[in-house]
Chain A
C-alpha cells in the first residue's frame, strides 16, 4: 500500500466510518470538517511514529503538518528526506 492509501484508509475507517473513497478529498481539513478531534490527532501521531518510523516533535504538532492528507504527505516527505 502506498503512503497515501494507508493514510486515507486509516482516516476513513476509523474516523469517518466509511469505505467510500469519494467522501474524503486529500485537501479536506480534518478539523474544519470535524473528522478529527484532539484525541484523533494524537492517534495520527501514533500512526506516524509506529508505521512510518517518524518522530513528531512537540513544535511540529500543528495543523500545517497534520490537518489533511496532503499536509500529512508533505510532512512525511519532509521528515523522511
Chain B
C-alpha cells in the first residue's frame, strides 16, 4: 500500500503547491517510505508516497496517460492488471511503465466513470481528468484501502489518512460526537462519518465525482454485496458450491501473489489463515514465511495451533510475544495512527505483528480477514440463528438445549443462569423484522458505555445511532434472509471500520506492511452471496462450505478446532505493576473535565472498581478502552494539534515534482 493525498479546485489561491505537497506527504511517510512525488497544475494537486512493490524502478506516481491529460494517484493493488494491460494494449493504448497503476488511466480513457468495475483489488484512487475538469475519487468494494475527504474554500481535499488533511486545512479538528455515539454502538462510525467533524470517508464501493466548474460533488455506489432475496432460489448444492468456492479462492490467492517482492502470510492458527498459508505452499511459493502473535494469557494464545500449521507445512516461522505492558506502551501512539476511538485493544498487538514482518524484510502479507463475514464464522451469526428460532417459537423447550449447544462451556444443567441468558439472547426476539435484529444484543451491550457520557455530550446527541445506520441500508435489504442481513450488517460496520481499518490498514501501515485479503476478492463474495445460509452455517457448524471446500489443505486438528476469535487483553493491560504515566493522566478528573466527553465522577468509580481487583466484565473492558482511547484521540488531535500537524515538514524530508 502507499499513501495518496491532494487538492482539487482553484489551488492558485492556496499556498505554494510544493509546500502543500510536502506537508501532506510528510504526514503519510509511514505509508510510503520509499519516495514521495507530486503533480500539480492550476486546478489539481496529486501527491503520492510510495511503498514500492510492483515495478520497483519505474513505478513512481502520479502517473499519466499518453497526452498528459489524465493523472492518477493510487494506493493499493490491482491484481488483474496483467490481463487488463494486455486488453488495453490490444485496443491501442501505450504504456510507459510496467505498473498496475498505469492501467487505471487507460481504463478511464476507455470506459470513463465505469472503469472502476473492471478492477479486481484493493484501492483508493484519485484520478484527475484535466480536459473535462473533473476529479474522480473512489475506494475498493469492501473498504480495505482508506480514503478521506472534505471541502473547504471551494476545494476538495483528499488523503489516505486524516492527518494529511489536518496539515493543510484551515479549520481545526473537532470530535464528531454523533460518530462517537455510533462507534459506541457498532464499533465503527456509520460510513461516511469519521471521528472528525466535517471529514468524511469515501464509502466502500463508492465513487465521487467532483466537477470543478459547477463545484458539485456527486457520489454513487458502484458495488454492493449482492445477497439473493429470500423469494428467489439460493444455491443449495453442496458439491457444486464447494468446488466453486475452492476454485475461486485458489485463484484469489494466486493473483494476490503478483508482486516484485516476496509475499508472506499472517498465521493466527485459525481456519482462515491456515487455509491461505496452505494454498500458498501448494502453489510452490518458494520459501514461505509466516508471522504470528502469541500471548501470555492462555485464553488468548493460539501458539499451539500455529505450531501445528508450521510443522504441517514447514514454513519459515516468526513470532512475537505480546505482553500486557506492550499493549499499554503501544496504545497511545497507535491511537494517533488509528485516528479514532476504539472499543477493544485488539488492534494494538497487530502493530507488533507488522513490526515483526518489517524487521524480517517483508513488505507484503496475505491475511485472513473477511472469511467470517463472507462465509458466516462469528458467534453473532449463530446467536442470530438461535434468536430467529426463538422469535418463531417463543416457548420451545429446545431453547436451553440450543444455548447449551452454542455455549458448551456454560453450565445449563439446572435453571441456573438460564433466565439471565434469556435476558441477553432474548433481547429483541419479539421483533425479527427490525433491520438490526441480528445485532441488537451486541449493540445493547456495547452501548452500556454510554452511561459514562457527560451531560454536555448527552445534550449534544440528537440522533439515534441505530436509526442512522438503518437509513443507510439499501432498498433490497428487507428482502433478504435474516442470516444474510446479519452478514451484510457486519460487512458494512465492524469489518471496514474496525477490522480492516483500525485493526487492519493502520496497524499494517504503522510499519509499512501491505496486507492482502483473498477472502475479500469480489468474485468470492459475489458467489458466496448466492449460497443458501444453510451451506454457511450448517446447524451450528460455522463456515461449513469453506471447510468442505478447503479440507484437503488442512490437518484435522485445525479443521475441527473450536473457533476462537482473535482477542487481546483489555483492562489488565493498563492496570498492572507499572502502567505508563499517560493512563493516569488521560483518565484524571482534570483531563476528563477538560475534554468534557465523559463524566469524571463515573469514570472515577470505574477506576475504583478496577483497582479494587473486583471481577471485571466485558462491559467494563469496553468502557475503559473506549474512554481511554477517546481521551488519547483528544490528546493527539486537539491538544497536540499544532505541534503534530501544523509545523512545517523537516528539511530532510524530500518530495519532488513530476511534470
Please give the distance in Å from B312's CB to the nearest CB on chain A: 38
Complex Cα–Cα for A57 and B601 (A) = 36
Contact across chains for A38 and B417 when beta carbons are under 8 A apart? yes
Chain B proximity of A11: nearest CB distance (Å): 12
Residue of A nearest to B448 (CB): A34
Judging by beta carbons under 8 Å apart, are B451 and A16 in contact?
yes
- Closest Cβ of chain A: how far from B581's Cβ, in Å? 24
Q: Cβ of A19 and Cβ of B615 under 8 Å apart?
A: no
Question: Binary interface profile of B, 411-448, with partner A (CB < 8 Å = 1, else 0)?
Answer: 00111110111011000000000000000000011001
* CB closest chain-B residue, reference A14: B609
CB distance from A74 to the nearest CB of B (A): 17
Asked if residues B602 and A17 are in contact (CB atoms below 8 Å), the reply is yes
Shortest Cβ distance from residue B295 to the other chain A in the assembled complex, whole angstroms: 21
Beta-carbon nearest neighbor of B418 in chain A = A62
Interface residues on A, range: 20 to 34
Given the known inter-chain contacts A14-B614, A17-B451, A19-B605, please indicate yes or no for A38 contacting B424, CB distance below 8 A. yes
Q: Which residues of A contact B419 (CB under 8 A)?
A: 31, 62-63
B586 CB to nearest A CB, Å: 18
Among candidates A13, A31, A43, residue contacting B605 with C-beta atoms closer than 8 Å: A13
Complex contact B417–A37 (CB within 8 A): no
Q: A residues 25-79 with Cβ under 8 Å of B?
A: 31-32, 34, 37-43, 46, 58-59, 61-63
Interface size on B, residues (CB 8 A): 27
B477 at the A interface (CB under 8 A):
no
Secondary structure call for the B interface: helix
- Does B230 have its Cβ within 8 Å of any Cβ on chain A? no
Complex contact B448–A61 (CB within 8 A): no
User: Which residues does chain B contribute within 8 Å of A13, judged by CB atoms?
Assistant: 605, 608-609
- Chain B residues with CB under 8 A of A40: 617
| Cα-based distance from A48 to B339 in the complex (angstroms) | 44
With A19-B605, A38-B421 already in contact, the answer to whether A61 and B416 are too (CB < 8 A) is yes
Inter-chain CA distance A69–B608, complex, in Å, is 22
The reply to whether A43 and B614 form a contact with Cβ atoms under 8 Å apart is yes
Is the C-beta of A18 less than 8 angstroms from some C-beta in chain B?
yes
Determine if B606 is an interface residue (Cβ-Cβ < 8 Å): yes
On chain B, the residues within 8 Å of A14 by CB distance are 605, 609, 614
Give the complex CA separation of A73 and B149 in angstroms: 57
Q: Are A58 and B416 touching (Cβ within 8 A)?
A: yes
Known A-B contacts A37-B445, A40-B617; A17 and B416 likewise in contact (beta carbons under 8 Å): no
- Report whether B601 and A19 are in contact in the complex, using a CB–CB cutoff of 8 Å: yes
The 4 closest A-B CB pairs, nearest first, are: A17-B602, A31-B423, A17-B605, A39-B617
B residues touching A (Cβ–Cβ < 8 Å)? 413-417, 419-421, 423-424, 444-445, 448, 451-452, 601-603, 605-606, 608-609, 614-615, 617-619
Give me 26 A-to-B residue pairs in the complex whose CB atoms sit less than 8 angstroms apart, sorted by A's number. A13-B608, A13-B609, A17-B452, A17-B603, A17-B606, A17-B609, A18-B601, A18-B605, A31-B419, A31-B423, A34-B444, A37-B420, A37-B445, A38-B420, A38-B421, A39-B615, A39-B618, A41-B417, A41-B420, A43-B614, A43-B615, A58-B413, A58-B416, A59-B416, A61-B414, A61-B416
